[in-house]
Structure 1
Amino acid sequence: MGMIDTGLNALLGQGGNVIRSTAEVFRPNAEAAAQRDHEMLANALQQFSAEFRDQRSGFDRVMDALNRLPRPAMAFGAIGLMVAAMSDPIWFAARMQGLALVPEALWWLLGAVVSFYFGARHQVKGQQFQRELARNLTMAPQVAGNMRDLHALREGPELSADQTPVGPISEGPADPNPALEAWRART
């Protein structure tokens, strides 16, 4: 029994590590590969969450939410007026008579307030868009460099100054090739 244990320990090592190490040369360890994949995905999710995190304060978010209320309120109010006109025309006519008594100067003032509100909101959103666009444009040189590196990888290794690149077959070889010329003549 002692010789069998000695032989198996020599073959397998302590705990079978020799076979496992040899097998991992030909096939990657599935558990370690799963762990690497998990870490890569976790890092990618962490990067995405950092990239798309809202940088505004709570007050800014509340104010932005309140600023979004007037447009839907006006749209639903107009729809509500149409429903009220159809459901109770007498009640609706009485309200419209009240609106007919509003002086024209007050209508102009209401129009100015609504115009300035929506104009200012449009301007703020436009400026935020411009800032985001400018921030993205500052990344353009880095993106161009990355694209250049990717194209270089696709084309193969860079050639040194003493090497001449071989172009595609349609351009013709750098030196004459009789077999290629005969093939081109047949096709």
Structure 2
Amino acid sequence: MGLIQGFLSLMFGSGRNVIRETAEVFTENAEAGAKRAASVQGQAMQQFGAEFEVPRAGLFDRFMDGLNRLPRPALALGTLGLFVTAMIDPLWFAARMQGIALVPEPLWWLLGVVVSFYFGARHQMKAQHFQREVATTMSRVPQVMENIGKLEQMRADSPGAADPGPDATLSVAVLNPEANPALDAWKARRLA
């Protein structure tokens, strides 16, 4: 009793749990991990909320906030407006399009770059990453099919899995099992 009590006090005495502390070296304590995750989430929300605590009373701040929200709706509504004006006053629309035809090509490239960076950079990056992943996966298909074929040939119930081939010595060895002293002793004890 004294030995067991001494061992238990060594393991769990003085408010410590040596087993738990040792296990936490190899695996995360779920409760402590959840507390850390909640703390991180709370700090992130406080940081995001702090951005909006500053009153935007100044005219410049309100103007910049409005300006930052303007390009997407302006481009969308402007494009729809072009379709409407083409239907309402085709001559006015054609005159404006003739002016656009005079814009030099490098300026179109610059406009394309600006619009692409503003709207499409993240979308393009994600699309290219997805296409690379699909291409990588598809390039592995022949190897995977070959591996599946090899695995199917290794199945015990596949025809010819235990075929010794043209080796006559191996064929005879397969038909005549080796002596197994441990198995013979087990059978003798079982029969006795």
TM-score class normalised by the smaller sequence: 0.3 to 0.5
Provide TM-score, normalisation by structure 1.
Answer: 0.32
